[in-house]
Structure 1
């Protein structure tokens, strides 16, 4: 499915092994600004992915930058109640919806990635960057703090002290710094190619097991190790009812590792 008239486009492709991968691209002019049209288009794409999940998702952007951030016109004249409702909506329709997808989600950052675009990347499972990519949460320039989950997800990956520094200074940080902090998973010269190769690899793997991994880690995020331990037996136990596990075990016992074919769901 493609729709070039919108600021985002969603394409579904099939790997050589027959698995479906979704590629969601931000493509709205030189800066890929997050205005109401961009948010609405992204929400529609995420609704489609939630209704019919693929086996892996790639978020990427066209253009000179990944995004110059949010169009500040979006904030002009909002009351306190309207501001709070804006953030509730963006959490529900974008951030939490990305995190709830039952498959791996990879983000490719090839260049400057500001505010909403960076916060969205932090909701993804894996973040890859080009060497020249830079990241920033620069909301302080308009007297705001990042409010789509960026500070807390940055703190989860880099520590609370780094998150405070990152947000309060409003500075730009390069890809290597983000990698050393544990925010960026890896740096690649051709990050788009590397990201596409990774999503194909993940899509060709055991989708149900990947979804279980996400559920266990989410349980840890919300309730710590004890909570994650409490749900793991049921979440992991359910995998024994999947053809993914049954087929992989049979092929492992018959021909050794690396020969399994996964059917997903």
Structure 2
């Protein structure tokens, strides 16, 4: 691989972005990142470090390659990175992003796809997409909201202002901040500790969080019934039939009176005209190809869709 390296040393694996300067995510790096995660998944490592060579962790996607590329050809190339991040999130071992310098755009989403983020004091985090007239293509806004809440997530994404690592640590986005010269040693210590920990327990913990994500998606909005479904958070949610029954979504269960706020609601069928802006399988104005919404008959229009996964 030319832009991504993988080193597995007993219990600890390390994936390094190596495309100086800035480690911008070009088309080839997207493919290599997925291959690197596959190699780690197939190996015996019990913890993973994700690092960037040079002064910056990652400056985000290499938009210079997007110029004059037709949408129908750009969409699957973007989807390659989405799939790589999904594979990273699904690893059965603890994953740690080790961030120095600038962590921007897709690089920020890469870090958020790890379980933990360690940062040097020089680290700066930013989503500059708003200035480019695009959204966070790999679900960064949702990844942020999971960690810090809706209001802070909107602030970070809409203002596009770089944030220091210390502030994001205060906001529970970054796990720990250390002086830059100590970053590698701190990362090695975390990896060694987790690599010698109860791996099966860590995997079960991640499974519980995935169930929580899926349940939240089904409570707060209709879910795609295709398999797999790439939704705005970048997760592949299970089909509704595969979900354990939830007391908040069973139509046969009467809601308990708990006041207006937080009161469970009875699940109701959705009208056939329901729009699905979170279903990212189609482009703006197109009709969902193979993507249907629970309770909706016929194709669904997706007015705000962005390429997220392969067309089904």
Q: TM over 0.5, yes or no? A: yes
Q: Could you say which structure has the larger radius of gyration?
A: 2
Structure 1: 4+ residue segments shifted above 6 A: none
Equivalent of residue 179 in structure 1, options 160, 166, 169: 169
Equivalent of residue 76 in structure 1, options 67, 71, 82: 67
Cα deviation, 1:237-261, whole Å, max 9, x if unaligned, reads xxxxxxxxxxxxxxxxxxxxxxxxx
Structure 2 match to 1:26: 17
Trace 1:114-263 onto structure 2 (pairs within 5 A).
Answer: 114-189=104-179, 190-224=182-216
Q: CA deviation at 1:123?
A: 0.7
Q: CA deviation at 1:75?
A: 2.3
In the alignment, the residues of structure 1 paired with residue 14 and residue 113 of structure 2 have an alpha-carbon distance, to the nearest angstrom, of 16
Contact between 1:53 and 1:101, CA under 8 Å: does it hold in 2?
no
Equivalent of residue 4 in structure 2, options 8, 14, 28: 8
Q: Secondary structure at the match of 2:167?
A: helix
In the alignment, the residues of structure 2 paired with residue 82 and residue 139 of structure 1 have an alpha-carbon distance, to the nearest angstrom, of 21
How many residues are paired up? Answer: 220
Structure 2 match to 1:90: 81
In the alignment, the residues of structure 2 paired with residue 78 and residue 151 of structure 1 have an alpha-carbon distance, to the nearest angstrom, of 25
Q: Secondary structure at the match of 1:33?
A: coil
Could you tell which deviates more after superposition, 52-61 or 101-110?
A: 52-61
Unaligned runs of 5+ in 2: 220-243, 246-312
Q: TM-score, normalised by structure 2?
A: 0.66
Cα deviation, 1:142-197, whole Å, max 9, x if unaligned, reads 21111112110001111111111111111100101111111001111122211111
Q: CA deviation at 1:53?
A: 5.0
Unaligned runs of 5+ in 1: 15-19, 232-265
Query: Cα RMSD (Å) of the superposition?
Result: 2.2
